[in-house]
Each structure stands twice: as C-alpha cells, then as structure tokens.
Chains A and B, each alone.
Chain A
Amino acid sequence: MKPAPFEYYAPTSVEEALATLQTLGYDGKVLAGGQSLIPAMNFRMARPAALVDLNKVNELFYIKPTSDGGLAIGTMTRDSVVEKDPLVAERFPIVPYVVKHIAHPQIRNRGTFGGAIAHADPAAQIPALSVALNARFLVRKQGGERWVNAEDFFMGPFMTVLEPEEMLAEVVLPPMAKGSGASYQQVSRQKGGYAQAAVISVVVVDENKRCKDARVVLFSVGETPILSQTAPKILVGNVPTAEAIAEVAEKISKEEVDPGTDIHGTAEYRRHLVKVLVRRGLTEAFERAK
C-alpha cells in the first residue's frame, strides 16, 4: 500500500498552480485534502504522474458572504471549517448538518469542500448538497475562467466537466429563498460511513403554505446526484399533503433512482430506503419551511 512514483509540486499561488496544471496536462492531478486521492494512490488504483498540491495556496481557503445573502467558499476550505462556521450556520443551516455526516472528524479536518465536489463520488454528500442548493462553481485555468451550475457539473461516477488543466476555485451558494425549509436523511451502515441511500430536500412555500419549489436530491443511488423531476411536478402550486408526499416518494423510488446491489444492501432494499427517506425528508422540510 505504497503509491507508485510521482512528481510533486507545491505552488503558493493560484497563478502558479494553474501554470503548473497547464504544463502538466493529463499528467497532473490536483491534491486537495488528499482523503480520497491518497488512499486511491496507496491502493495504486490512481497513478498520477504528478501532484499539484494546493495546500500552500492560501488564497483558496475562505468563506465570504455575498451581497445577495449567499456565500462564496474557496475550494480548499476544510469540511470542518464549513461545519463550524457561524455564517454558514446562519445562512444555510442545512450545510453544517449535512457536512457532519461526512466520515469522522479527522477526515473532515483534512477533506475540502471543493475537493469533494471535484472528486464527484456518487456517494458523497457535498456534490448533492451543491445541487440541492443550486450552487455555481468557478472553474479556472491559466488565462481563463468559466462558471458551471452544479446541476451541469457531474457527468458520472468520479467524472466532472473539469478538464485536466482546470481547477475548481470557488463554490457560490445563492441565498435561500424566503419560506424555505430543508432536511437531510441518510441511512448508512455505521456512523461516519458512506450512505446506502440519502436525500437532501430543499422546499419553498408561500404565505399560504403552498409549495413554490421542491429540490429533492438523491445520492448514493445512482451515478451522480439525482435532482428529482417528479417532486416539483407533483408538489409545486399545492399545499403538500401526506398523500402527495407519499406519491412523490413512491414515484422517485420507482422511476428516478437506480441503486445497485452491493455487499451492504440489495437494490430492492436501497430502493425501499429511498421511498422511506424521501417521505421523511419532505415531511420534515415542509415542517421547517418558513
């Protein structure tokens, strides 16, 4: 369990990091918190020729309020910092709650918010969270940048729209709408373990408790985070009833997810979990919506 040989670069500025990535092309790989990349290298499942370590790039570690009431998070911000930040808790109470479910404190102390997104593990919380919160990502390369919506970012398991010379630099969370409520439901075998099925629900209601928006994101039950199309179709415009929620849960579990059978659970069980968790999640989100 030792990695294959690799070259190591430790830039101290974004410019330097981007230049290094540009030069290395397909040979280069960003090292963020290393909590996914290093184990993969130790197993020799990943054999990057060169690592570009962002841990000394101070300008990538930050949480800043945006003027519209949202947040901008530098890619290297550690999970544990996001988890404990008062501004995050105030503007997006769902975020620290979800982040707490990632692994164990030691791993959250190293793992980064942006790293989790770039890694695009179908069982990871932060990619799904970014979809549920309608996040936007700033992607930079030498001499250029682009903005990508979370929804358009994830291409498949461990696959994103990032090119080898590109780097995820910042995650922007737009403000939560008035009347919104959120919930997180997950089932995993053990505390800190990857979810067997999980759902993040963010709903918005009007003054009459009618549903204005319902973003229900499933993960660990398909190749990428899955933004439910069914939920808004059935719920928006109506006061959510238990029956409507049950119908959404039933439909999502039957039509929108594609869990596989693995050593910890059968596909049937995980589909069943989706139904239960969507029901519990939407119920809780609507209760919280104000």
Chain B
Amino acid sequence: MAGKYVHQSILRLEDPELITGNVQFLDDIELPGMLHAAFKRSDYAHARIKSIDVSEARKLPGVIGVYTAEDFGDYIKPGPLQVPPPTAIKGATYVARTTMPIAKDKVRFAGEPVAIVIAESRYIAEDACDLIYVDYEPLEAVVDLEKALQPGSPLVHEDLPSNEAGHVRQERGSWEQAVKEADLVIKRKFFINRNAGAAMENRGIIVQWDKHAKQMTIWCGTQSVIALRNQTAARLGLFESQVRVITPNTGGGFGPKINTSLPDDVLITYLAMKLDRPIKWFEDRRENFLATTSERDQVHYCELAVKRDGTIVGLKDFFYHNTGAYNPYMMTVPLNTQTHTVTNYRVPNFLTEFYVVFTNQMIVTPVRGAGRQYGVFVMERMLDAAARELGMSPVEIRRKNLLPANAYPYYTSIIGQDFVEGVLDSGDYPTSFQKTLELIEYDKFVNEVQPKLRAQGKKVGIGVACFSEGTGVGPYEGARVTVGGNGKVVVTTGYTSQGQAHYTTFAQIVADQLGVDVKDVKVITGDTGYFGWGAGTFASRGITVAGTATHLAAQKVRQKALKLASKILEAPEEELELADGVVRVADIPSKFISLGDLATLANPMRGTMEPGTEPGLEAVAYYGPPYGATGAGAVGLIVEVDPETMQVSLEKMAFVHDCGTPVNPMVVDGQIHGGIQMGIGDAFYEELIYDENGQLVTASFMDYLFPQATDMPKKLVLGHMETPSPLNPLGIKGVGEAGAIPIPSVFTQAVENALQETGVEFDRDTLSPSRIFTYVQQAKGA
C-alpha cells in the first residue's frame, strides 16, 4: 500500500538536528541544585551481608546521604512483575522473585546494589562508595544452568525448594506419534550464550520533585514511560497525574531499558522527594555490564524425527533457560524461543518444554530478538544435522519442509508471549527462500565458485537459514493527532523512541491522511504529559501498533476536517479532497479552505456548538491487535575461513525480508543492517562470561567484544518482499529485531561448510576463531 509518503524512502526528519547536536540527551540536562547518585555494588555473586559500615562515607565532604536497605524501611520490597505469568498455558508453573531495589540481608549477583550515595558530584559519590565497608559471608554461587537444578545445589532464593523458577510444556500433535512414524530420530545438544543489550547510551534517570506543585518530573531514556509513571506513582502513593515522565533523545534501547522498578528508578524517585533536590544518576559502562539486565543463556536438548526423504514428522525441544537472580520479566524470553522454533516449517508434531532457572547472575530480560533467535538457531541446526545424516543438501531439506504460501492464517497451537495462540497472519516463506538463494547465487557458488576456490586451498563456505519474527503484539497503543491554527500537525503518543525514526515514519502516515507536507507533522513520543496511555517499546511493535493507532487517529481527523469543510465550502464531502494543506472542492480550484483555518473554526471561542460535535481538528485512537503480525525472511552467507588461523571473513550476505508494507523502505533497510550487525555480534563476538564464582569476566568493552562497522559483510544485498498483514489497515508487520534473528544460524552453517572436509559440527553460538580451532582439533582427533 503506497501513498505520497507511505512506502517512500524519505530522509529521516530527525537527522539534521541530531547530526548538528541540536538536541537534548539525558546527560545534557542540568538542573539547579542537582545532586548525583552512585551505587555501592556487591563484589560477590552470592553472599550474606553481615554488616555495612557507612560511617566514613557519610563524613566525606560533599556527601549528602548514604543509604542502605535499612534506611528505606518498608519502602524496600521486591518490585512488581513487569509481565504477567503465562496462566493461559495449561499446566504452566512459576514462582515470582522480582527485583530487590537494594540488597537486604543477602546479595544474589555481583553488581547488585548494597548502598546508594547521594553527593554534590558523581566524583564525590564514587569516592564515598570506596569508603563503604561491607562485611560479607560468601556463599557458593549458582552459576551452571544445569547443575542449578540438581539436588544439593545452593539456593538463590532460600525460601524456595529449588532454583526452579518455572516450567512450561506445550505440544501440538504428538511427539510420541512422530517417533513411531519417523525413519530416523536425530539428537543434538546446543548451548546458547548470554549477551548484553549494550546501547550506545546507558540507562540513566533524573528526578525532580516540586514540593509546591506536588509534582514529580522524571527524565529517563526508558522504553516505557507509562509503566515507569504508574509504578512510581503507586510506590510513592501519588496520583499518576502527579508524575510526568519525559524521554529525551535516547541513544538506543534494545530491551534492557524496558525495565522499570530497577534500583535506579525506585531509589532515586524516593530520595529526590525526601531530600527535596533533583538527583541525576547515569549508569556507567561497567554498571551496564554488571547490573542492568542482559539476555539468556540456554541449554537445549533437541530431537528431530524425519523420514528418509527429509520430511519432518516431529520436533522435540527440551531446554533450560537462565533467568538470573530475579525474574521480573517472567517468561517472555523462553516463550519467544518456544514460539519461534518451528514457525517457518511444517512440523506436524512438536513438543517443546522448558525450565526457567534462577542463578547468581544478572537478571535476564529481553534483548533485541528476545529469545527468538534461539528457537531459530535450534531448528536450523537440527535441519543441518538432518541434512548431514540423510546426505541431503541444506537447501533441499529446507525446501521440502517450508510452510507453503497458501497456509495462512496458520494456527500454531503454541501460546506465545502475548498469552494467545500464535497465528501466522500472512507470508510466503518459499518465495523468500528462493529469492535468497538467487541473491546469494547459491547454485553458482556450490557448483562453480566453491570447487574452484577449494582447489586453490581456500576454505570457503555457504549457509542459508530461514527465520520468522512475531512482531507487533498487544495489548495496545494510542495516539492523538491535532491540527493547529497554523495548519501544522502534532502527533502525540505514549510510545517511546530510542532512535527508530518514529518522528519520520509516523509523520509519513499522518501526512498521507491529512494531505500536508510531511515536514509539517511534528511527532512527540514518550512524554506522559502529552499522552498518558500505552504499553511500551518492545516486540517490534512501534509501527504496527502505535503506527496503526496514529493512522486511525489521522483518519478521524480527516473525517472531521471534511465534515466541517463541507459545511463551509457548501459542497458534499465526496467532492472534497485534502492536499497541500487545504481542503478543496475537487473541480473548483478557487474553492478551498486551509486546514489551519478549519482548525481555528473548529474551536469557537463564543457562540454555540452543534450538539454531538467535539471541538478542534483533533482525535485520539487506539489500536490493539488480536495477535501479532509475523514478519519473516531468509538469509544466505558466504564466508572464507583462514585454514590456519581460523579467522572468518564474511564475504557476502543476502538478506530477504518481508515486513508487509514498509512505511519507509530506507528505515527498514537501516533496521535490518543494524540487526544483522547485532546478529554478527551474537554469532561471533559477544559473550558475557561468568567465572565459577559468578564473577563477570567481561565487564568492559576491552573484554566484551562488540561488532564494529569493519565486521559487517564485505558485500550485503537486501531483498524485500511484501505480503501485507491482514491485521491492520496499512498491512504492516514489524522489522525491529528481524536482522538479528537468523545470523547465528547462518554463520554457523557457513563456517561448518567452509571446513566441511574436517567433519566439524558446531553445537553452540559465539564461534571465536579459537573455539573453531578447538572444534576442528577435536573433529580431527575423532
């Protein structure tokens, strides 16, 4: 669906200001009398706190206060669940042990705050942290995901009988039946490691309490202003209207910033009120690594039941999911893994079961991809293993099992993160797969290029993988569209932005409906003072959910404008058109009225109003989908591996993606590029490593490797497909996480193919050259 603006690659409206530095980020904000906070964090992953001595820290000049759990009294309790438990799933069990704002009696991960210092500067606050002495009784740390569930393991939460945080089992068809029908059952174990969601800008918060107006203002780069406002108000006994949350420009979110009721917002809101001074806290990179939130490690035990011709009859996936020390985000991540394991393929019998496990590690919550990539990884790896054992090509086995183009809507019988059965609304997986093969020139590579290069001693390999991305889930988002007396349009939404181009894409949607120049549409996101409803920025739902709400609100305004103009211009509505900022009678160019004048007339200052009308050229609309729109695609990759050093060079990648209507194709490309880069990090570089005592070994960018521009494939070709979603009027599906999802799968496969003659098979992600070397040595030994 294309319009004057929708479906056009217009340049991002926000960029000129961003590039010239004419914008405000959180750390740019300085308030009179502002204080600064720093956290004293636990050195131990698991220990009892015997005593905390803050006396010296309190004496340091410039220190306003030093607080431990004791000083907050009853205010300190576990935070609310950010996501409800999956009660819709039959038999699901769970316990909730949510985030402690500050450790009381016991620390459960290295980096958990034990005290907070408020001082005149961040420097002084950190000096004071050095003067706080904590007497710990160290306890054995729970680090290994599988050992954590064995009897006798130390307990993260001693009031629980074990470290089990939950269990979910879902089945469609019958795995038992699949085993009976299969010619072959292939078994594999996979390990998936833990990554950070490292945004360029870390978490941060500024809180100001106006004791005269009884009004709190919070500036915060959160992904959910509404949750932050509501939880703050509830905790402090205020009306929601007494708390205003404003997000300044924010340098990336990627998931961790969706979390509220973490130590920073809980304690700093309280202390700003108590001390009656504004307080700023900005997370440093070390804190971000240690104690924000990160994503998952998982261990999968997987079985694939196949016929000799490669037809899948069933899949069984049993996995453990690490949730860290607390589980405020319940089961979103493992549920995503579960729902994304078999989406692209026909798998008549599917049994998927997981245990969520508490460990003495940082809390796990979604990070771009949010568990989806691991379902995809498991499935794609199993197909590679099956192809190998059946002597088929990876392409053949995929083609044989891809869900056909006429399968939609396809009911999956598996309940997902939005607690309804997953339904694939639309798509065409065979075509996207075929397009990918063409773009990567699969046949030519396998038949001509690879043999030639191999003959020269070069280790070159190719991989292809499919993926899907459940996007745009509920509950809802809303937007208000207002035409001003100047004829320009303001859109406000509770949705929050961290760089995704909402200021452009939402404006494109509105400009098409109201016939105005896109530059005359100003979009305001993430400020509860403007719009107080919404859920938050997650699950690639911005353009699908908030964008659709914006579209609906703009449509309402359009109707209002036409109705009023019809009266004024004395012409029936059907004969009117909106273009160039005016409403005009289609055939009579001289008969028109500007939107600005209409807006003024729609807001009379004297006289009477027609009953049943509402003032202004303004409307609010909400949109909540019945279930998410599923984007999908496929990726091909050619690599060259140095046969001696095992350095991997990404020679060419082809990525085909279907997100329905791309509101701005250039922005879609950008999302995919960034996603791919993050996926490369996942596949090759990024790894949060904890030692056996639960100490994070990779707590800086010196040790935690992050993909750089120079790590992108030498050649990257994108292909687009458009199967519009029937779920929303513009036919949109989300794209925010897509790029990241299939990369570990395709990378692993391509490297394996390059090293084919060694017989190596990989059973994990993050394949550093050293790891590849070790695998090859083992394969040679075997």
Chain A interfacial positions (CB closer than 8 Å to B): 1-5, 43-44, 187, 189-193, 196, 263-266, 268-270, 272-273, 276
Contacts and interface: CB of A to CB of B under 8 A. Distances in A.
B697 A190 contact: no
A193 B647 contact: no
B50 to A, nearest CB: 24
Interface residues of B, number: 29
23 contacts: A1-B126, A1-B286, A2-B126, A43-B700, A187-B645, A187-B647, A189-B768, A189-B769, A191-B708, A191-B711, A193-B705, A263-B703, A264-B768, A264-B770, A265-B768, A266-B774, A268-B774, A269-B769, A269-B770, A270-B770, A272-B773, A273-B645, A276-B644
B763 interface: no
A102 B161 CA distance: 53
Nearest to A191: B710
Given A1-B286, A189-B685, A265-B768, A276 B645 contact: yes
B773 A269 contact: yes
A1 B769 contact: no
Interface in B191-221: none
Contact of B689 (A2, A5, A263): A263
Interface in B117-138: 122-123, 126-127, 130
Contacts of B711: 190-191
A192 B705 CA distance: 12
The 9 closest A-B pairs by CB, nearest first: A265-B770, A1-B284, A269-B770, A191-B710, A276-B644, A2-B123, A269-B773, A2-B126, A187-B645
A43 B126 CA distance: 11
Interface string B684-701: 010101000000011010
B645 A190 contact: no
B285 interface: yes
A109 B705 CA distance: 22
A190 B284 contact: no
A44 B285 CA distance: 14
A225 to B, nearest CB: 20
Contacts of A272: 644, 773
Interface string B742-777: 000000000000000000000000001110011001
B781 to A, nearest CB: 13
A225 B645 CA distance: 21
A190 B711 CA distance: 8
A103 B605 CA distance: 66
Interface in B219-235: none
A139 B415 CA distance: 71
A265 B705 CA distance: 13
Contacts of B769: 187, 189, 265, 269
Given A4-B130, A187-B647, A43 B770 contact: no
A150 B286 CA distance: 36
A100 to B, nearest CB: 13
B773 A263 contact: no
Contact of B705 (A3, A43, A190, A268): A190
Contacts of A190: 685, 705, 708, 710-711
Contacts of A191: 708, 710-711
Contacts of B645: 187, 273, 276
Given A192-B708, A268-B774, 4 more contacts: A1-B285, A5-B127, A43-B700, A265-B770
B747 to A, nearest CB: 15
A263 B697 CA distance: 8
